[in-house]
Homo-oligomer: A and B are copies of this chain.
């Protein structure tokens, strides 16, 4: 249950039940008391959190992936990212996802901040990192994971955002949060 008692806009949980327990998705439905005194229902995904990595090669290009995203039925250009394992440190997760998905290790890491991709119906947070001083050690894709790794100049990434070729909000958000450190 999520309580917002200290905020005049806050909603107070009256009850909470899990309504779907999937392999990936965990969905909950809560009854809530509204600020005006009425009651309503809130349905939402509980998510373990994730990381996204803006990784810069020695030549200044940024690592991108092209990955098929089933809910939308097509591949997207996006920065390396992935879910946090239970108990895993967020920086360890960022290092793991970068290595597994792109085959690179980085010796310089900077934590940039957090974003929330889907505040209407998910508690997911995504922690943003910038990775520098990369060396290639070979990827380790999960079974059933298929992706292409690309590297693009910073200006090409920004141009693709404004041309609508990159539409993934976590990638666009991470790019602009990282830009002061990579520009």
Which positions in A face B, CB cutoff 8 Å? Answer: 2-4, 7, 9-11, 19-20, 22-25, 27, 29-30, 32, 34-36, 38, 40-46, 66-76, 78, 113-126, 143-144, 146-148, 161-162, 164, 167-170, 172-173, 176-177, 180
Other-chain residue from B2, B125, B147, B172 in contact with A70 (beta carbon distance below 8 A) = B2
Chief secondary structure at chain A's binding surface: mixed
Tell me the nearest residue of chain B to A5, going by C-beta: B73
Q: Are B45 and A70 touching (Cβ within 8 A)?
A: no
Contacts A/B (CB < 8 Å), 10 sampled: A7-B68, A9-B68, A9-B75, A35-B68, A38-B144, A72-B119, A115-B167, A118-B122, A118-B169, A172-B172
Q: Give CA–CA (A167, B118) in the complex, Å.
A: 11
Q: Can you list the 3 inter-chain pairs with the closest CB atoms, starting with the nearest?
A: A2-B73, A44-B71, A9-B68
Q: Give CA–CA (A40, B164) in the complex, Å.
A: 30
Other-chain residue from B4, B22, B114, B146 in contact with A9 (beta carbon distance below 8 A) = B146
Q: Give CA–CA (A38, B68) in the complex, Å.
A: 15
Other-chain residue from B34, B76, B121, B123 in contact with A45 (beta carbon distance below 8 A) = B121
Q: Give CA–CA (A90, B38) in the complex, Å.
A: 31
Q: Give CA–CA (A180, B163) in the complex, Å.
A: 12
Given contacts A113-B164, A172-B177, 17 further A-B contacts (CB under 8 A): A2-B72, A9-B68, A25-B27, A25-B121, A32-B70, A36-B146, A71-B119, A71-B120, A71-B122, A72-B116, A78-B119, A113-B167, A114-B164, A116-B169, A172-B173, A172-B176, A176-B176
Q: Are B177 and A161 touching (Cβ within 8 A)?
A: yes
Q: Are B36 and A144 touching (Cβ within 8 A)?
A: yes
Q: Give CA–CA (A164, B112) in the complex, Å.
A: 9
Other-chain residue from B9, B29, B44, B70 in contact with A11 (beta carbon distance below 8 A) = B70
